[in-house]
Amino acid sequence: MKPSDVMKGAPPSAEALVTRFNWRKYPHSQWSFRNTRQVLPTADIRRSSTPSALTSSVCDLSAVAFVADGKRTTLAETLAQTYADGLLVMQRGKIVSEWYGEGMTPHTPHLVCSVSKSICGTLGGILVERGLLDVDKPITHYVPEMASSVYGGCTVRNLLDMTVAIKFEEDYDDPEGDVVKYRLCNGWDVLPNGTAQGDQRSFLATLRPSGGPHGKVFHYVSTNTDVLGWVYEKACGKPYAQILSEYIWAPMGAEDDAYITLDTHGASRSAGGICATLRDLGRFGEMIRNRGLVNGTQVVPGSWIDDIHLNGDTRAFANGDLAFVFPSGRYRACWYTVDPARLDLAAVGIHGQWIYIDPTTDTVIVKVASQPNPMDIPIDHRWLAAFRGIGEALSKSFI
């Protein structure tokens, strides 16, 4: 079945119908990733009443060529061959290219999976500046309910940098692994017959330590960022979606409401549940490129952005479980530094979601997709080469 056939008809055929049994499986995911709130409960992340203006100076980038995995290819070929749903390229604050696939428009929110983590990590800097959060305090200072779990011995900084020594394997393909239990508690999967519905926060409290010390090894586990969102809620006394709207989405001038998925108890999936438009994700990335500034207003502390660029434990990352993705990389406040020599930042989500920020070429690139496999490193590396190729082409030809 073609993606364009999904959810067609009144009603759709059984084969074309999107349900919680198939919503993350291609080709159904190509529809559900842009219609997630029709599958799961959600909360709005409210837009600005005065959206920041976006200017355009559009050029044709389809012929931009680059080498990936030893082969020369183009942007047009890569868009066609990698299940892409949308691409937005900005340079120095202007939109220079915008492409939308099946069912996508400039005002269509798309699920961004773990790009949500980088948004969450950015929010932390604002809360620190406002005196609402101390990253060196133990998690239990904010969430005492975590005392008997692995999180009872961690700091907020350990959450931000993924250095919690937790017994949890983020294996998306293990049919009986930790990720399956995690998705069930969040309502992302259908429960087996006779199984009672759990909830996110109760599940988080059951997680146990690996036996190693916290703060020494990068270990990528999504539950860490869900705990971080819970810490923010306790610190602010408000739901996560409202905090995100008040401190980032509205102040940065978002044009459209975003939204975030909820479990059955109303807990936000701050680790991976945000759905947003490409233009607003571009606004967010441009704010990061400008050290937190939006039209002269400091939305995110510049020192927080500097810390993301310059810090992060390279040794901890090298000893961690994603060093093969970014061999010289590091991780700080839920952002990847891909190459410390060029200080390029990446927010990355499974199934092909990216925000890429390159200070050397003044570019911000947003790409969303519905790749069939949660992790597809050859495609990720192909797109990383594409991002850099786009930046180099813009720098040479259009400045």
Residues with a catalytic annotation lie at: 114
Interior CA angle at 332 toward 113 and 231, to 5°? 70
Identify the sign of the CA torsion 245, 247, 248, 250.
positive
Helix (H) or strand (E) holding 71: strand 71-74
CA distances from 208 to 152, 164, 181, 232 (A): 10, 10, 14, 22
Residues in the chain: 399
- Structure tokens that stand for 204 in this block: 């988080």
Residue type, 32: S
Identify the sign of the CA torsion 54, 55, 60, 61.
negative
**Helical packing angle, 223-236 and 115-129, nearest 10°:** 30
**Helical packing angle, 278-289 and 115-129, nearest 10°:** 50
